[in-house]
Amino acid sequence: MQQPIFIIGTQRSGTTLLTRMLSAHPGLFIQNEMGTYGVFDKPYTTEVLHGRITGRLRDRYSIDVASLESKGVLWGWKDPMLTPHLDELAEHYPQSKFIVIIRDPRAVVASYIDNAWGLGTTPYTGALRWQDEVTTQLDFCRAHQHRCLWFTYENLIENNQQALTRICEFLGVDFDNGMLEYYKKPLEFGQNRSNMNTQKPIEKSSLTKWKAAFSSRQIGIINNVCQDVMTELDYTDMADLNTRIGSLEKSYYGLHQKIMGELQLQYQLRKARRNAKK
């Protein structure tokens, strides 16, 4: 049984872009998000888990894992929703490799709010989500150093070929120039507002768009919540670390997240179902 590759990151951190780049390599195939619902329902054995994953690839996307493996293609699964299941995946796939991409929390939170999927409806709740997920991912990487490769979205954008070469070395495949022209390959999943930028060449302007999205206080709130991990990752421009967030303000943000987050999620799900029927 071939051990799949797992690509992890917070949502809006560049995981889809990375998937596009890697799948442009003739020896790699990474399936974009296919949902974790039901995959990790207990009890299950390694064989059951593997059957659920490969079965979903077959039933939903007509992808035959055995055919990929017979051609020497390494396959994998990218999904931010795998973060809570990292320990399970490591246990059941002891030879699998994990790639983690991390993006500046201010850019991630700005995208949470802009895309309105209920992930983070305010700078405070979005920052809490980023802090929790990235801490989990980094802790996992530290516990499984020989099986994990993590890097930042910013490095992928600024040093594209270098970052992709490093990933190829980690996976044990030769670098292929096709990865640099990923946008010329037909999209293998549905186009939507969230992934449309993965069909264009890299735009370095994506690194600083968040600066226009927030007030200085909002940036200070994100810096305050995420400062320990941001310092570890060497993110700069961390002014306003002393921004105070009162208990009533936190309560308001929590209530806003609970109500608006659910409304946004239900709206997006209804829209997705309508589009699926067209």
Q: What's the full length of the chain, in residues?
A: 278
CATH topology of domain 5-277: Rossmann fold (3.40.50)
pLDDT digits (tens), the chain, 278 positions: 678 999 999 999 999 999 999 999 999 999 988 889 999 999 999 999 999 999 999 988 889 999 999 999 999 999 999 999 999 999 999 999 999 999 999 999 999 999 999 999 999 999 999 999 999 999 999 999 999 999 999 999 999 999 999 999 999 999 999 999 998 887 665 555 555 667 788 888 889 899 999 998 999 999 999 999 998 998 877 656 678 899 999 999 999 999 999 999 999 888 877 876 66
d(CA 181, CA 115): 26
Q: What is the DSSP string of 238-267?
A: ---TT----HHHHHHHHHHHHHHHHHHHHH
- Give the C-alpha separation, 206 to 216, whole Å: 19
In the chain, where the domains are located: 5-277
Whether the model clears a pTM of 0.85, i.e. scores above it, the answer is yes
Q: Can you state the percent helix, strand and coil of the chain, rounding each to 5?
A: 60, 10, 30
